[in-house]
Structure 1
Amino acid sequence: METLVRLNRTVQAAAAVAALLAATACGSSDSGSSSSTGLNPPDLKAQSKLGKTEGEVNLIAWAGYVEDGSNDPEVDWVSDFEKQTGCQVNTKTAASSDEMVKLMKTGQYDAVSASGDASLRLIASGDAAPVNTDLVPNYKDVFSGLKQQAWNSVDGTAYGIPHGRGANLLMYNTEKVSPAPTSWSAVFDDASQYKGNVTAYDSPIYIADAALYLKATKPELKIEDPYALDQDQFDAAVDLLKQQNANVGEYWSDYLKEISAFKSGDSVVGTTWQVIANLAEGEGAKVKAIVPKEGSTGWSDTWMLSAKAEHPNCAYKWMDWIISPKVNAQVAEYFGEAPANSKACDETSDASFCDTFHATDESYWKNIAFWNTPIEQCLDGRTDVKCVPYAKWVQAWTEIKG
C-alpha cells in the first residue's frame, strides 16, 4: 500500500493571523476562563448531546486522512461511514497549517485535522469549539499521553479529538556519517563536518528543534519549553540556526525530495520522520533514524470542531469514526504515523507496525516535545517575561534562510 504523508507543512503564518492570536491571548472583550498558560479563549460551550445528523459534513484534512477510494480503490474508510451515518463527506485537502487556519475562519467547514502549530490559534481566536468527549465513545481508548495536552486543551477543557502522532527524528547515512551520531550536535555544533550535505525541515517551527538542543547543551539559557522562548532564548536559537545554515545543502518540506537526496548522497544527515526513513531504506538508501539523547520535537494531530459548524452532529460522528480501532489503524498505516486509539494496534495489517512507530511506548513519547503555537504568554507558565510570538518566528525563519 502506498504511504501518503503530509505534502508540505511549511507554515507561513500571516501577520494578521498571528496578531489576532496575540490579541486574543492577551484577553479581549470576550469573557473567558483564566488559563495557567495565559491563553484566554472565548467562553464557548461544548455541545451537551447529539441531535439528528444533518446529512453531510465538510472537513479540512491533511492528504491521506480522509480516503474514499478515489485515490486508490483499496483505500477507503469514508464510504462505510457515509452508509452507516447518512453523512456525506466533503473534504478540502490543505497543504499547510496556515491554510487550515484561514479555511476555518471562513465558517464553511465543520472540522479540521489540525496540528499543534495551528491548534492554539484556532482556540484563541474562537474558531474552534470545545468538544464534549462523552459524545465520542472511542475517546475512552485514546492513549493517555494524547489526552488533555497543551496543544489540544486549555485548563481541562478539550478542544479536539487526538488522531495520531509522530516524532521528528535524526536520520543519517550509515556509510558516510561515522561514528554513528547520538546527539543533535551532528546537525548543529558539528555540522561543518558534513558541510553542504546537512538537511533541515523547512518551517518556522524548526526553531524549536534548535531550542530543544540548546535546552540540553546551554543550561544557562534556562529553556524549559522549546515553544516558550523569551527574547534571549529565542535569539540564541536563531543564532544557532544561522550558523547551521552555512552547512545546509537543502531545506526539505517534500518527503519525496528528502528520500531522493539521501539516496543520491546529496544529504547525509538531518531531520526526518519515521515513515520517510522507512521508505528511504526500502528504496536502498543506507540510512538509520533515531531519537537523539536530547529528545526530539514531534507532531500530534487533533480533529477540531468549528465553532460555526453547520453540521456538528455529523462532525461528532466523524470524529468518533476516525479514531475507531479499525479505521484509526487504516489511517495510521496509510499515512505513516502512530495511531491514537490503543486498540488500533490489534487491527493493523502489518503486525509489527505499532512497534515500528512506538505506538504503545509512552516512555518513548515522553522524550518528544510536540508542536505547539508560540504566544506572548509563555507556555511554560512564566509571568515575569514575555515570550516571542509565532509571527516573529515566521520573520526569523526568513532571515535564517537568508
Structure 2
Amino acid sequence: MKKFATVVALVFLLPLLTACPKQQTRDELRIYNWSDYMPEEVIQDFEKRENAKIVLDTYDDPEAMVSKLQAGGDSEYDVVILSDYLVGQLAQRGTILELDKSKIPNFKNLDPSFADPAYDPGSKHSVVYQWGTTGLAYREDLVKGPVDSWAVLFDPAKSVGSFLLLTEMREQVGAALRYLGASVNSTDPATLERAKRLLIDAKRRSQGFAGGTDAVQQVLSGNVAVAVAYSGDAFRAMEENPKVKYVIPREGGTIWSDVLTILSKSKNSELAYKFINYLLEPEVAAKVSNGIGYGTPVPAALPMIEARDNPIIYPSAEVRKKLEFLGDLGPAADLYNKIWAEVRAQ
C-alpha cells in the first residue's frame, strides 16, 4: 500500500516537476593571469554579481604565455592580463581586440597618466590593472654585505650570497643593461652583447631561474639570499617575515604596469567588458591592491588602500626618476630573443 501511494504521488507530481524551469546556466569567463595576482574575494564577488563562473589559468613566464597564445591558446580565453610592453606586439598580430570604451564607463576612473600610456596611446587595446617595480628581494640575515646594486648579481667580487635570476626575459636583460648604465630598452648590438656575457656568467653562479612569485618564496624560506623580484611579491613576503627586504638598485630599474586585454577570439567579450569595468570601481580596485600588494591606477581607491604610504608600493618621485618602462622593441625583439636563448642554453 505504501509503495502504491508513492507511485500515485509521483504520477501527480511529474507534470509539476517537468513544468519547473531549468536552472539557469551561468555565463563563463575564462581568464589567463599571472600567478597569485587576483584576490579570490574579487573573483567571487563578480561571479555573484553577474551569475557567472570564472575559470582562471595562470602563468609565470610571459614569453611562454605569448607562445601559448600563438599556438592556438588565443581561442581558450576571454581576458588576458599581460605586461605592458607586449600590447603593441599582440595588437599588431590581431590577437587582442581594439576596445570599445563605451562598454567600459569606469575607464574615467583611471589616473590620466595611465589612461594614455606610451606603449598603447589612448589605451586603444588595453586598460591598466596594476603597476609596480622590479628590484631585489633579500633576507637581511643571510646576505654577507650591502644589497644596493645590481652588482650583487653581476660582479663576483660583490656577491652577498646565493641568488636567483628572473624567468622574464625583458626584466632580467633590463637589469643587466641598467648595471651597464644603459637603457632597459637599448637596441645597441654591442651593449646587448656585453649584457649577454654578464647574464651568462651570472647564470653559472646562480641557483637558476624562477618566476616572480616562486623567487620571493625561495627568499622567504631561506633557500636563497637574494632574488630579482617584483615589488608586490616582496611586500607580501615582508609581511610574513620582516627579515625579507626589498630594494631598487641604485642604478635604477623598471617601473611597469600589467594590463587587461580582451582576446579577438573571445567567446564572451560582453562579459569580459563587464569584468574590466568592474575592476575599475574604486572599492574593487582597493580590494585588489590590498589583496596582492601592488599599486592601483585608480586614484579614488587610494583612501581605502592600507599601504598607500609604503614606499615599496608607491616609490618617491626621486626613486621614480631612476625607473624606466619597458618599451616595444620592434624588429630588435629578434635580437633579444637570440640573446636570451643563448643565456638559457649555457
TMscore range, shorter length = 0.7 to 0.9
Amino acid at match of 1:62: W
Cross-structure match for 2:168: 203
Cα distance, 1:77 vs structure 2: 2.3
2:55 to 91, 97, 115: 91
Q: Which has the larger radius of gyration?
A: 2
TM-score norm. by structure 2 comes to 0.77
CA contact (8 A) 2:139 2:219 kept: no
Q: Deviations over 1:194-234 (max 9, x none)?
A: 376133213322112111221x2xxxxxx4x4234232221
Q: What corresponds to 1:259 in structure 2?
A: 217
1:127 is paired with a residue whose SS is coil
Quick check: 1:327 aligned with 2:327? no
Please point out which of 294, 306, 316 is paired with 2:263: 306
Counterpart of 2:300 (choices 337, 343, 361) is 343
1:342 Cα deviation after fit: 1.4
1: CA distance, partners of 2:44 / 2:242: 37
Please report the RMSD computed on the Cα atoms of aligned residues, expressed in angstroms. 3.2
Q: Distance in 2 between matches of 1:280 and 1:85?
A: 33
Q: Which amino acid aligns with 1:132?
A: D
How far has the Cα of 1:361 moved from its partner? 5.3
* 2:146 alignment partner in structure 1: 180
8 A Cα contact 2:63 2:168, kept in partner = no
Q: Aligned partners of 2:189, 2:238: CA distance in 1, in Å?
A: 40
Shift in Å, 1:319: 0.7
Q: Summarize the alignment of residues 2-401 of structure 1 with structure 2, pairs less than 5 Å apart.
A: 55-65=27-37, 75-85=40-50, 88-95=52-59, 96-98=61-63, 100-101=65-66, 102-103=68-69, 105=72, 106-116=74-84, 118-151=86-119, 153=120, 155-156=121-122, 158-175=124-141, 177=143, 180-189=146-155, 191-194=156-159, 197-205=162-170, 206-214=172-180, 216=181, 223=182, 225-253=183-211, 255-256=213-214, 258-261=216-219, 263-264=221-222, 266-284=223-241, 286-348=243-305, 351-353=306-308, 355-359=310-314, 364-376=319-331, 388-399=334-345
Per the TM alignment, residue 357 of structure 1 is displaced from its structure 2 partner at its CA by 4.3
AA partner of residue 93 (structure 1): D
Distance change in 2, residues 1:364/1:341 (3 Å): farther
Q: Does the 8 Å CA contact 1:203/1:397 hold for their aligned counterparts? A: no
CA distance in 1, matches of 2:321, 2:115: 13
| Alignment gaps of 5+ in structure 1 | 1-53, 68-74, 217-222, 377-385
Q: Give the counterpart letter for 1:229 in structure 2.
A: T
Quick one: which amino acid aligns to residue 170 of structure 1? L
Q: Is the 8 A contact 1:374 1:389 kept in 2?
A: no
Higher helix share: 2
Structure 2 residue aligned with 1:46: none
* In 2, Cα distance between equivalents of 1:393 and 1:325: 42
For residue 81 of structure 1, give the secondary structure of its aligned residue in structure 2: helix
- How many pairs align? 316
How far residue 281 of structure 1 moved from its aligned partner, in angstroms, is 3.7
Distance 2:136 2:316 in 1: 19
Q: 1:83, 1:354 → 2: CA distance?
A: 32
Taking a change above 3 Å as real, the CA distance of residues 284 and 83 of structure 1, as seen in their structure-2 partners, is closer
| Alignment deviations for residues 177-206 of structure 1 (CA, whole Å, 9 cap, x no partner) | 4653432223223x3343761332133221
Query: Counterpart of 1:186 in structure 2: which amino acid?
Result: V
Return the alpha-carbon distance in structure 1 between the equivalents of residues 36 and 164 of structure 2. Answer: 25
Residue 156 to residue 329, structure 1, CA distance change in 2 (3 Å): closer
**Aligned equivalents of 2:38, 2:229: Cα separation in 1:** 24
Give, in whole Å, the separation in 1 of the partners of 2:31 and 2:98.
Answer: 17
Superposition TM-score, scaled by structure 1 size: 0.67
Distance 2:229 2:167 in 1: 11
3-state SS in 2 of match to 1:244? helix
Instruction: Give the deviation of 1:111 after TM superposition.
Output: 1.9
Q: List per-residue Cα deviations over 1:92-125 (Å, max 9, x = no partner).
A: 3121424543347543432211123543331121
